[in-house]
Structure 1
Amino acid sequence: MNESVESPSLSQPVDQEQSFPCPAATAPRKPFQLQERRGSNVSLVLDVNSLSLGAVEPLCSISTPRETLLHLLRTSTRPLTPSQLQEASDETSRLNSEYQKIPPNFVNPAELDIPGHALKDRYKTILPNPETRVCLRNPAAEEAGETERYINANYIKGYNGAPRAYIATQGPMLNTVHDFWEMVWQEGSTTIVMITKLKEKNEKCELYWPEKDGSYGRFEVRVSIVKECDGYTIRDMIIQVGSENRQVRHYWYSTWPDHQTPDCTGPLLRLVVDVDEHRQSIPSPGPTIVHCSAGIGRTGCFIASSIGCLQLQHTSKADVLQIVCKLRLDRGGMIQTSEQYQFLYLTLAQYSRQLRNTDSGSESPVPIQTIKTTGTCGDRENPAKT
């Protein structure tokens, strides 16, 4: 018998500021002791000097609308068991309603007081949350007093609140490619996940890696191996600055349409598992850098799927609502459409079925939507190419 789970209400009323008329000017004989009571001839005399701090109960603080929305993002939750997750994934109308109630937490441009940042923003309305944005050190300009270089990117907490597990960012632009590689180097990142084509009607991302070898500012980048996988491509790259070099693995999932969802969950789940296994094989992997074009829609889906899979592995439950709310605290607008939100439920429901089949030792054929814990990528190794 499945447990009945009520969806939390995200539409709690927000106290609106009430406007009261200013009191009429009073005679100067008692300017600070007399307060007229509305609708009554009775006067209340309050001797403020007789009050001590501990003698009266303090007034309750009035939350602003923004504080109320942030409270919702911090506290909203709906943990589901695998069976409940299966049922919820079919409730399209309810999921749409749940999604619409999640505050987007977009950044007001006035909050981002950084001169010239608009030149480095792909979309003027998609800005990094100031509290979690990545600040690039600028070694080349430190002598001139310019200690920071701007990039449209945010640190994202991972499973169980792990700090800086991911970095969500926009697709590099022609004038931000150098900044992108600077971020990879500064953060010690060993994994990049790209979920967009270079062009979808309009340009979505600048080509920021070479066919074989290339220079990007102070960085030399060389592609050593290319592997074609089911739904995505892996490139192993070597980044070099002076005599120091590091290895970075680049995953390119190019078949996910903008503002839409894939036809099935299989490729995304295989990618999630592949990236997680790669990270676990590295002692200090640094944040996983994830980007699409704006860095909130498909980027949010990948990160949310990764966190949800870990929740299912460790707790046998998944809390999609909480995951998305926490993502939006770090970067506004994560998960861009209701369809993407529903796809998250479908993806995690499918992953929970795969976990159950694995635990029961099922020998049944694996349908296309399920993941594979082994053999996620072919063994083919091709010469470096784009």
Structure 2
Amino acid sequence: MVQRCWVGSSSNHATKLPSRVIGTDMDHPLSQCSSIKKHARLQERRGSNVSLTLDVSSLGNVEPILSVSTPREITLHFLRTSSHVLSKEKLQERARNLKELEEEYSKIPPNYVNPEELDIPGRASKDRYKSILPNPQSRVCLSRADSQEGSSYINANYIRGYAGQEKAFIATQGPMLNTVTDFWQMVWQERASIIVMITKLKEGKEKCVLYWPDQEGTYGQFRILVQDTRDYVEYTVRDLTIQLKGEDRHVKHFLYSSWPDHQTPESPKPLLRLTAEVEEKRQEAVGKGPVVVHCSAGIGRTGCFIATSIGCQELKTKGQVDIMGIVCKLRLDRGGMIQTSEQYQFLHHTLSLYSSQLPEQADP
């Protein structure tokens, strides 16, 4: 006798998983149990919408083969299928219910990466935080001819944008002293014309090194020139020129430094203004490379900015938004995106404010 069971969740009901489930989107191992003794029981994880118990005590000496989905498969199924679409009216209501948002957030698997999955010589010296690593299937690889160990490695991931647009963003950590040249190599390689930095250089301790000059400077084979600097109330915009072997490229650098680490701003208005200006400059850019976004670890504030950008496009286009679905897709590309429940709540609050400013005809 063969008994098969799928332990999972529906797309509309979240299954609470362990706080840390590791792996990548490329591996799909299956667990085979060749023997089940008397009174063996398989209990689905607490918090699910279904309580499933398998009792084979009545099977005598029959040894069934049980195919059970692994925690990894459950994680991927959740992140790929979970959804909670909100109309503008429902979004306003949802944004006020902080308790429900906290519960919903706690059910989303973080999808962090096991260091063993990144067997890259010299990698560890290029990670700002040893537990925040790029998901292998979407990580950025530097195409360099260096013989140095780990020369192709950078702690960065391609992130899909609105409607699944490939490589709309790159989420990365704040550059370190020994990765500044790698950072500029990535910007050049990907033909990025916009960099969004959402951190101070120091917040008690170093969060990011200064990777651009006051006026001009050389970083590896790249020469960086600051052409103009404009200070606004909430953020600073720099016009940079990158030079390599006689070729010049122009990059807009946005520095939004008033957002504290692991916390949320007092108001979402500056974030919405920043998001709008970045989108405007992206539309104007000659090259359509990814928008490079970083904070310190490249998952919390970085995730909030990218999710806000995608959510605004969704609301503007459809008049509704699937914030839970957005966060799940972000975590498929880079583990841990949106780092705290407070940031998840702030994301709802920000998009709620944006939706209230849209004209009525934006409704589907």
Give the alignment's TM-score, normalised by structure 2.
Answer: 0.83
**Matching residue within 10, 13, 27 for 1:9:** 13
Indicate the larger mover: 7-16 or 201-210. 7-16
Q: Do structure 1's residue 106 and structure 2's residue 109 form an aligned pair? A: no
Partner of 1:180: 183
Q: Letter of the aligned partner of 1:239 in structure 2?
A: I
Aligned residues with identical type, % of pairs: 56
Q: Indicate which of 132, 136, 139 corresponds to 2:142.
A: 136
Distance (Å, rounded) in 1 between the aligned partners of 2:185 and 2:232:
28
Report the Cα distance in structure 2 between the residues aligned to 1:17 and 1:359, rounded to whole angstroms: 51
Q: 1:190·1:248 contact (CA, 8 Å) conserved in 2?
A: yes
Change (3 A) 1:165 1:20: same
Matched, 1:293 2:296: yes
Q: Hey, what's the Cα distance between the residues in 1 that align with 2:334 and 2:17?
A: 24
| Cα distance, 1:88–1:218 mapped onto 2, change above 3 Å | same
Instruction: Pick from 233, 237, 242 the counterpart of residue 236 of structure 2.
Output: 233
* Corresponding residue number in structure 1 for 2:46: none
Partner of 1:20: 36
Other structure's SS at 2:324 match: helix
CA deviation map 1:52-106 (0-9, x unaligned): xxxxxxx885311110111000000011111100000000000000000000000
Determine if the alignment matches structure 1 residue 215 to structure 2 residue 218: yes
**Pair 1:323 & 2:315 matched:** no
1:25 paired residue number: none
Residue 27 of structure 2 corresponds to which residue in structure 1? none
Q: Supply the AA of the counterpart residue of 1:290.
A: V
Aligned to 1:85: 91
Q: Identify if the C-alpha distance between structure 1 residues 180 and 13 changes in structure 2 by more than 3 Å, giving closer, same or farther.
A: closer
Residue-by-residue CA offset, 1:337-378 (whole Å, 9 max, x unaligned): 000000000000000011137979xxxxxxxxxxxxxxxxxx
1:119-268 aligned within 5 A: 119-139=125-145, 141=146, 144=147, 148-268=151-271
- State whether residues 166 and 289 of structure 1, in contact with CA within 8 Å, keep that contact through their aligned partners in structure 2: yes
Q: 2:122–2:150: 8 Å Cα contact kept in structure 1?
A: no
Q: Report the secondary structure of 1:98's partner residue.
A: helix
In structure 2, stretches of 5+ residues that fail to align are: 1-9, 19-29, 39-55
Residues of 1 paired with 2:58 and 2:269: CA distance?
69
Name the residue aligned to 1:279: 282
- The residue number in structure 1 matching 2:78 is 72
Does the CA contact (< 8 Å) of 2:123 and 2:150 recur in 1? no
**1:131 partner SS:** helix
Q: Do the aligned partners of 1:265 and 1:346 also contact (CA within 8 Å) in 2?
A: yes
Q: How does the TM-score come out when normalised to structure 1? A: 0.79
Gaps of 5+ in 1: 1-5, 23-36, 45-58, 361-386
SS of the residue 1:257 aligns to: coil
User: Which position in structure 1 is the counterpart of 2:100?
Assistant: 94
Q: How has the CA–CA distance of structure 1 residues 174 and 155 changed in structure 2, closer, same or farther, with 3 Å as cutoff?
A: same
Q: CA offset at residue 13 of structure 1?
A: 8.6
Q: How far off its partner does 1:230 sit?
A: 3.0
The 8 Å contact of residues 211 and 223 in structure 1, kept in 2 or not, is answered as: yes
**C-alpha RMSD of the superposition:** 2.8
In the alignment, is the contact (CA less than 8 A) between 1:137 and 1:149 conserved in 2? yes
Contact 1:135 1:148 in 2 (8 A): no
What is the deviation of 1:149? 1.6
Q: Would the aligned equivalents of 2:212 and 2:224 in 1 still touch at CA under 8 Å?
A: yes
The one-character-per-residue Cα deviations of 1:120-153 (angstroms, maximum 9, x if unpaired) are: 00000000000000000113x2xx5979521000
User: Hey, what's the Cα distance between the residues in 2 that align with 1:40 and 1:251?
Assistant: 66
Q: For the Cα contact (< 8 Å) 2:122–2:149, is it kept in 1? A: no
Deviations 1:152-183 (A, max 9, x none): 00000000000000000000000000000000
**Contact residue 156 and residue 330 of structure 1 kept, 8 A:** yes
In the superposition, relative to structure 1, how do residues 118 and 145 fare at CA in structure 2: closer, same or farther (>3 Å)?
closer
The answer on whether the counterparts of 1:137 and 1:147 sit within 8 Å (CA) in structure 2 is: no
Q: Which amino acid aligns with 2:70?
A: T
- The letter of the residue matching 1:10 is A
CA distance in 2, matches of 1:90, 1:356: 22
Over 3 Å counting, the alpha-carbon distance change for 1:119 and 1:315 in structure 2 is same
Contact kept in structure 1, 2:176 and 2:209, CA below 8 Å: yes
Count of residues in correspondence between the two structures? 324
In structure 2, the CA distance between the partners of 1:91 and 1:188, relative to structure 1 (3 Å rule), is same
